[in-house]
Amino acid sequence: MTDLPAPVRDAHDLSAPATKPARPFFSSGPCAKPPGWSAAELATESLGRSHRSKIGKTRLAYCIDLMRELLNLPDTHRIGIVPGSDTGAFEMAMWTMLGARGVTTLAWESFGEGWVTDAVKQLKLDPTVIRADYGQLPDLTTVDWSTDVLFTWNGTTSGVRVPNGDWIPDDREGLSFADATSAVFAYPLPWDKIDVATFSWQKVLGGEGGHGVLILGPRAVERLESYTPAWPLPKVFRLIAKGKLAEGVFKGETINTPSMLAVEDAIFALEWGKQIGGAAGLIARSDANAAALDKIVAERDWLGHLAADEASRSKTSVCLTVAGADEAFIKTFAGLLEKQGAAFDVAGYRDAPAGLRIWCGATVDTADIEALGPWLDWAYATAKAA
């Protein structure tokens, strides 16, 4: 006789479940540290040293080399560590490369809207804006690739992603700018389709905030070397020296002083990722976590996915709807879980529809996602009874 699946916990049961997630860190940024992480495990030889010293430059270059290896990044693409997290990296790309031709901005969540604001109000570019509501993806076939195109590969605040890179033509005239902060290390990215990509260590790697990563394809480098924007550039945005790309930036010679502690933390995460199988291992862990959460949702009629289309549903920042919930209910719901130490930071983003957001990136353990289900039942029942 085969074992029957365990029944879903009674949503009216107000007794707390016996088992908690071992690591109840479900924040969508900064995200859970890698399993086995400890500050005592970080290398310290670069701490207290100049980032311009031999050891400083060696560790920065090693971090870049690890990122290239795990991302399967081709030699045609440069990768650099820049200030300001993903936001700083993406704005660096916008300020240095936009304005050479028309611009199209795609927005289906708050960070995409942020790039619209930058393009319209700060750079005054009069872009074509293609929008979709939270939980939806715009019609990608309507994008005019004679323009530069800005989009988020995986919308952290809406749980919506582009399904793949097939919608990006090989013969595009404009550049593709991908804010990929919740996508790198979680999906196999088609680098031939991406001219500019940005991310931060604080997402799938579970690293510290404050530093961004800028990836440039050859077409982006050509743009930088052939085009000078009409507006002034702050020092931290300057990637050109004497008309040529400042190659040192992409070898670890950062524009401003980085935190070597954050760099060592990122190296720890990257080495862990390499040990579990590189990009394939990290992607497999994210896939398993998303599948475990999807099973929890399918078993509960009061839970749903904000992104209804599975093909464009995030496997990292998974956004959920809660029947009858408003912002106050979600605040109570998330507060109950935090007080019990069962789940931290699971309320949806402040600008998104009221709901939950569960991070399913590679640094989360699938067993902790599975243990979360009964606690969601408990918090839902308890919040309803309050």
Distance CA 183, CA 109 (A): 15
Residue whose tokens read 């399918």 = 298
- How far, in Å, are 20, 43, 78, 173, 220 from residue 225 at the CA level? 54, 37, 14, 17, 9
For residues 45-52, give the mean pLDDT. Answer: 95
Distance CA 279, CA 139 (A): 29
Neighbour count for residue 240 (Cβ, 10 Å) = 14
Sheet order of strands, 356-359 included: 303-305, 317-322, 356-359
| Predicted local confidence at residue 321, as pLDDT | 98
Encode pLDDT of 156-178 as tens digits: 999 999 999 999 999 999 999 99
Residue 15 inside a domain? The answer is: no
Query: Within this chain, do residues 190 and 312 fall inside the same structural domain, yes or no?
Result: no
Average pLDDT, the chain: 95
Query: Within this chain, do residues 370 and 329 fall inside the same structural domain, yes or no?
Result: yes
Three-class secondary structure assignment of 350-379:
CCCCCCEEEECCCCCCHHHHHHHHHHHHHH
Encode pLDDT of 209-263 as tens digits: 999 999 999 999 999 999 999 999 999 999 999 999 999 999 999 999 999 999 9
For residues 317-342, give the mean pLDDT. Answer: 97
Residue 34 inside a domain? The answer is: no
| Predicted local confidence at residue 87, as pLDDT | 97
* 1-15, 137-151, 229-243, 369-383: segment of lowest average pLDDT: 1-15
For residues 86-114, give the mean pLDDT. Answer: 97
Residue 28 inside a domain? The answer is: no
pLDDT of residue 21 exceeding 70, the answer is yes
Q: Which residue has the higher pLDDT, 212 or 7?
A: 212
For residues 46-71, give the mean pLDDT. Answer: 96
- Give the closest residue to 127 by CA, choosing from 80, 61, 174: 174
Strand partners, 81: 213
Of the candidates 216, 239, 274, which is a domain's last residue?
A: 274
- How far, in Å, are 30, 208, 213 from residue 275 at the CA level? 22, 20, 22
194: helix, strand or coil: coil
Which residues are within 8 A (CB) of 179 and not within 5 positions of it... i.e. 6 or more apart?
Answer: 86, 90, 111, 112, 115, 150, 151, 152, 153, 198
Query: Within this chain, do residues 246 and 229 fall inside the same structural domain, yes or no?
Result: yes
For residues 97-125, give the mean pLDDT. Answer: 97
| Predicted local confidence at residue 4, as pLDDT | 33
To 5 degrees, how large is the angle CA 281–CA 283–CA 288?
95
Q: Which residue has the higher pLDDT, 269 or 3?
A: 269
Query: Within this chain, do residues 242 and 370 fall inside the same structural domain, yes or no?
Result: no
Query: Within this chain, do residues 176 and 240 fall inside the same structural domain, yes or no?
Result: yes
Encode pLDDT of 231-244 as tens digits: 999 999 999 999 99
Encode pLDDT of 254-302 as tens digits: 999 999 999 999 999 999 999 999 999 999 999 999 999 999 999 999 9
191 φ, ψ to 5°?
Answer: -65, -20
For residues 72-101, give the mean pLDDT. Answer: 97
For residues 342-346, give the mean pLDDT. Answer: 98
Q: Taking phi first (over 0 means left), then psi (-120 to 50 degrees means alpha), and beta for anything else, what does residue 305 get?
A: beta
- Please report, for the domain that includes residue 337, its CATH number: 3.90.1150.10
For residues 372-377, give the mean pLDDT. Answer: 98
Neighbour count for residue 256 (Cβ, 10 Å) = 10
| Domain limits for position 177 | 39-274
- Give the closest residue to 214 by CA, choosing from 19, 83, 376: 83
| Predicted local confidence at residue 1, as pLDDT | 31
Query: Within this chain, do residues 295 and 363 fall inside the same structural domain, yes or no?
Result: yes
Query: Within this chain, do residues 106 and 226 fall inside the same structural domain, yes or no?
Result: yes
Query: Within this chain, do residues 207 and 329 fall inside the same structural domain, yes or no?
Result: no
324: exposed, middle or buried (Cβ count in 10 Å: 0-12, 13-18, 19+): exposed
Q: Residue 137 corresponds to which tokens in the numbers above?
A: 């993806």
| Predicted local confidence at residue 355, as pLDDT | 98
| Predicted local confidence at residue 8, as pLDDT | 55
| Predicted local confidence at residue 14, as pLDDT | 82
Q: Where are the beta strands (DSSP E) in 254-352?
A: 303-305, 317-322
Determine how β-strand 211-216 pairs with β-strand 240-241: unpaired
